[in-house]
Amino acid sequence: MLPLPFEAAFTYASDEALVPGTLVRVPLGPRMVVGAVWDDVPDAGVPERRLKPVAEVLDFPPLPESLREFIEWVAQYTLAKRGEVLALGVKANLLIEPKIRRKTFEFGAADAGQAGPALSADQAIAAAALRAAVGAQKFGVTLLDGVTGSGKTEVYLEAVAQTLAAGRQALVLLPEIALSVQFLQRFFARFGAMPAVWHSELTPAVRRATYRAVATGAAKVVVGARSALFLPFAELGLIVVDEEHESAFKQEDGVTYHARDMAVVRARISEAPCVLVSATPSLESVENANSGRYQRLDLPARHGGAKMPEVLALDLRKDPPERGRFLAPALIAAVRETFARGEQAMLFLNRRGYAPLTLCRHCGHRMACPNCTAWLVEHKSHKRLVCHHCGHNEALPEACPACGAEQNFAAVGPGVERIAEEVALVFPEARALVMASDVITGPKEAAAAAAAISAREVDMIIGTQMVAKGWHFPHLTLVGVVDADLGLGGGDLRAGERTVQMLYQVAGRAGREEAPGRVLLQTFSPEHPVMLALLSGDLPAFMAQEAAERRPGHWPPFGRLVALIVSAMDEALADRTARALSRSAPHGAGIEILGPAPAPFALLRGRYRRRLLMKTRRDLPVQTLVREWLARTQIDRAARVDVDVDPVSFM
Ligand code: ADP
Ligand code: ZN
């Protein structure tokens, strides 16, 4: 099996018998690639003398059977090609050792014998349950549901300690590994060593060393992004998925898989327990816990007597910001009080850049991306208009491309840069820090930002969703949400759920130690169920309401969805293909086909896009239905059909 987009394995000749999983170097056309010996029956159609020989057997432990089975399972479930799934772990050049080895890397040495903190009664109960699950060396899923700051991390580190004590390996998945500095520091404090880290930005040398250390068992704990699921663990004893509700766990390109769901599968195949952790669990996991499929552990209170923050709505209809500004007087007053107490404040707006829309005051022309159905976002710091979808960028023109009016553009709406500008105007003495992915570009920048905040070198943090993730800033007591309604438009199935989760997480950054926290939500609809849930803090009631709304129509998790995204450079071809798929769509009891319809991004990176959505009862074999559907449809080579099983994004 080659880590390339092929479904079939290739047949080569070898003098020695090679066990399945053995990594080899083989010729493919003019080049050499690394592949894995697979369990398939060799292709008998090729005469033996014409088979190319294996060039080299790599000095590397064979990929374990559990990993090969997992790869097969993921390919079958996502309808991806097996080679593509193999490629999520094995890169074609991964295992080729450089001629000169400059550095050696050390792993592991995490000390499970070192004592953790004294746990509260609730924490101790949860930790004991997790230790028991690890000790049983059996598959099972636990949902660890605890409010922000309740010590979920401390509790699951106890499960990691138990895994180490049993001599097995633990995998901790985090949604955004670049932002994991605080986690790594805590891990170091607990175990006296750093875990192995796995994400897409490792240097080739570190990547190679880590891959090997995981395969030999030298790396005992791996902290990684979703692709860490595809590492060749010698003896996996635990998987933890932290912030399990995060949509960042869903990979949207190539093999579209949900790392949370696949973590459960990986754990089952490896006969290991899986722990899903969140203060705002997904409805999927909540329902699995309610039905008894998952064990549930609750941590209902913050650690050390810290109170949950007080959440208030600011009705922008009654108390609007000044003209051309975005912070309401009540929010400005609250920030002032916070600064007066020597505490820190955070403003949250999930939008990068300066302004999401630039238009000509004279003719109303809007600056749009030439490749996508999207407005260009002004980034003042770079003096560019940028497409957030394809990366297209251009200078702000002197004259309107439509009417020629000069220097007459209006920036419409705010991004974090514009909020930072307003903060500088209103609080000229405040030291402000913007946290967004174009400023905080990697682990180094994130670590520096976190250190500056903890050292109180910053008064005000202005950030995108990046600030919602797990941070613990002791002196931060006020969180202002600039536009609480932002995520609610668009009619996405999970818009409400996702907005509640994100805002609850941001709110959870406030008042995590002695000083009490306060959260102000700027909204035009304080009576919206999402706002009411945040004001009351009663997330279970909100989720129960979500469940009641989704159940009758068989929406997930009470039914299943598969999206088919048709795309082509030629618009008519995209339409023709979508119509052909519509005509050949499966039908029958419990199957509903929605669309075809232009995708919300009807044009993306220069391709025209149409969507079809298949909604079925839970018990139907959706993969078989889709496979047969595609097989009986004539699809032009110039058109592409991407299949997304269990879609999270509907764009
Ligand atoms: P969560 O993951 O639920 O948001 P954390 O594990 O980050 O919560 O805990 C919040 C803060 O409280 C952290 O600084 C953590 O170190 C501290 N903490 C939690 N439990 C304990 C404990 N039993 N003893 C000492 N500190 C604790
Ligand atoms: Zn674009």
pLDDT in tens, 202-261: 888 888 889 999 999 999 999 999 999 999 999 999 999 999 999 999 999 899 999 999
Strands 393-395, 384-386: parallel, antiparallel or unpaired by DSSP?
antiparallel
592 sits in which H/E element = strand 591-604
- Beta-bridge mates of residue 170: 221, 238
Q: What is the pLDDT of residue 101?
A: 57
Ligand nearest to the CA of 603: 2
The angle at the Cα of 230, spanning 227 to 231, to the nearest 5 degrees, equals: 105
State if residue 278 touches ligand 1 by the CB under 6 angstroms criterion: no
Ligand 1 pocket check: which of 153, 174, 241, 512 to mutate, most ligand atoms within 8 Å of Cβ?
Answer: 153
Q: What is the pLDDT of residue 383?
A: 87
591-596: long-range pairs with CB below 8 Å, 24+: 591/615, 591/616, 591/617, 591/620, 591/625, 592/554, 592/616, 596/566
Q: How far apart are the first and last CA of the chain?
A: 33
Say how far apart CA 233 and CA 65 lie, in whole Å.
10
Q: Which amino acid is at 227?
A: S
Q: Which two tokens stand for residue 455?
A: 């050292």
Q: What is the pLDDT of residue 44?
A: 81
Q: What is the pLDDT of residue 28?
A: 93
State if residue 302 touches ligand 1 by the CB under 6 angstroms criterion: no
Q: Cβ atoms within 10 A of the Cβ of 136, count?
A: 12
> 401 C-alpha to center of ligand 2: Å?
18
The low-confidence residues of the chain, meaning pLDDT below 70, are 92-105
Ligand nearest to the CA of 607: 2
DSSP-derived 3-state class of residue 315: strand
Phi, then psi, of 161 in degrees rounded to 5: -60, -45
State if residue 303 touches ligand 1 by the CB under 6 angstroms criterion: yes
Tell which residue, 277, 267, 200, has the closest CA to residue 505.
Answer: 277
DSSP-derived 3-state class of residue 294: coil
State if residue 148 touches ligand 1 by the CB under 6 angstroms criterion: yes
Say how far apart CA 539 and CA 502 lie, in whole Å.
12
Q: Which two tokens stand for residue 613?
A: 């959505």
Q: What is the pLDDT of residue 37?
A: 97
> 371 C-alpha to center of ligand 2: Å?
5
Q: What is the pLDDT of residue 274?
A: 98
